[in-house]
Amino acid sequence: MLRRNFLTGAFKVACATAPISAVAVESLNVEEAEADDAQLPRVVYHLSDLDKVDFVLGNIHNHYAGMGGPSHVKIALVVHGPALKAFQTAAATPDVAKRAGELRGDGLELNACINTMRAQNVTLKDLLPGFIVAEKGGVVRLAELQSQGYAYLRP
């Protein structure tokens, strides 16, 4: 009888702690993933020249490839000035739309300058999918990302 009570008690303890252990392990996995993400090299590309859109998108593609894939680097693109026209749905070439979509799928963070959007009279809906608005402006967003450890590149 004592053995049965001991086994029953041990079983109850195991069952009671199993969900806690699973939550703890899941929590550790999330923390590890965030820590790994924080240790990734981070780069922000600055794009304002319309004639450099294809060049910069090619650089970003090559950057991912050179790092061993998008899981090995975090890249952001901040677009302002004339270059933003290339990312407007109505004006984007099929090639730019395709490449921007593929890079976004790889994890590229696409930022559009609010000041340029106002000057060009466009909204987020007018841009290719995946863009977020740099609410304080493109140059401020560049500085914010640099303060977060992003290396700055302006091809």
* Assigned CATH topology for domain 41-153: Hypothetical Protein Ychn; Chain: A, (3.40.1260)
* Per-residue pLDDT reduced to its tens digit, 126-136: 999 999 999 99
Percent of the chain's residues with pLDDT above 70 = 76
Sign of CA dihedral 135, 138, 144, 150: positive
Q: What is the pLDDT of residues 106-152, one digit of tens each?
A: 999 999 999 999 999 999 999 999 999 999 999 999 999 999 999 99
The C-alpha atoms of residue 10 and residue 134 are separated, in whole angstroms, by 56
Torsion of CA 102, 112, 74, 101, to 10 degrees: -10
Res. 25: pLDDT tops 50: no
Rounded distance, CA 131 to CA 126, Å? Answer: 10
Which pLDDT does position 38 carry in this prediction? 74
Is the C-alpha dihedral spanning 20, 21, 23, 28 positive or negative? positive
- pLDDT digit string, tens, across residues 35-74: 466 789 999 999 999 999 999 999 999 999 999 999 999 9
Report the sign of the C-alpha dihedral through residues 126, 127, 131, 132, in that order. Answer: negative
- Average pLDDT (12-29) is 48
Q: Name the average pLDDT for the chain.
A: 86
Residue 3 has pLDDT above 70, yes or no: no
Asked whether 47 and 79 are in contact (CB, 8 A), the reply is: yes
Question: How high is the pLDDT of residue 8?
Answer: 52
> What is the C-alpha radius of gyration for the chain, rounded to an integer number of angstroms?
23
Q: Where are the domains of the chain?
A: 1-39, 41-153
Query: In 3-state terms, what secondary structure has residue 135?
Result: coil
